[in-house]
Amino acid sequence: MRWTFGEEPLDETKELAAALRRVTGLALAMESPDPTVRELTRHLVEAERSLRAAMPSSPLPRVGGNAGGDGRVYLDHSRDIGAFNPMFPEYEIVVDGDSASGTVEFPIAYEGPPGLVHGGFLAVFFDSVIQHHNCDVGVAGKTTNLELRYRRPTPLLTPLTFDITRTATADRIESTALLSNDGEVCSEAKMRALAGDRSTLPPVSPRRSVR
């Protein structure tokens, strides 16, 4: 049984995330000022005003003791976070029990050194795909430790592969993941997480009707 916690994102939110990620990469690569960028910024500022007016009165998520409050809806972060949040990378993953594998390609928005992925985004990536694996297997929980080793520079705009293996006990999950470029390991991660109990999860408020 897949582990989920929170509401599904709206389709329009997914479309926005993908567009923002692509446009950010294009804007970062511009050689000189461009009127399209200025016009886009103007529209975004106008959209910000309109969306802010439609926001709930509290910025806190409606989870746990705040489930009945005036906060915002909490979106499910168990998998595919990059599909609705451009701050997270997108990837493809195939889960086969205690093993998983997949592909990822980092766009310009995640650049650190010239042409290479920023190490901080690699940490976000590993945490995301490992917990995605745990959630698809059906037993997940809070990350307690994440160790990264950078073996080789990780290139941008390059199809990369990753592999994950995990072991689980009654209360702990340990995972090891490798990120590779054409068979050469770029970085590796070891993560420990709690094996959570679904019955102890706090309540999450569903989406509310807009009146």
CA distances from 159 to 100, 103, 180 (A): 17, 7, 9
Assigned architecture for domain 11-198: Roll (3.10)
Per DSSP (E only), the strands in 111-200 are 143-150, 160-168, 172-181, 184-194
pLDDT at 211: 58
Q: What is the mean pLDDT of residues 40-62?
A: 95
pLDDT at 209: 82
pLDDT at 2: 85
8 A C-beta contact, residue 191 and residue 177 = yes
Phi and psi at residue 105, to the nearest 5° = -140, 120
Distance of CA 165 to the CA centre of its chain: 20
Torsion of CA 171, 141, 191, 83, to 10 degrees: 160
Across all residues in the chain, what is the average pLDDT? 95
Enumerate the domain spans of the chain.
11-198
Residue-wise pLDDT for 84-125, tens only, equals: 999 999 999 999 999 999 999 999 999 999 999 999 999 999
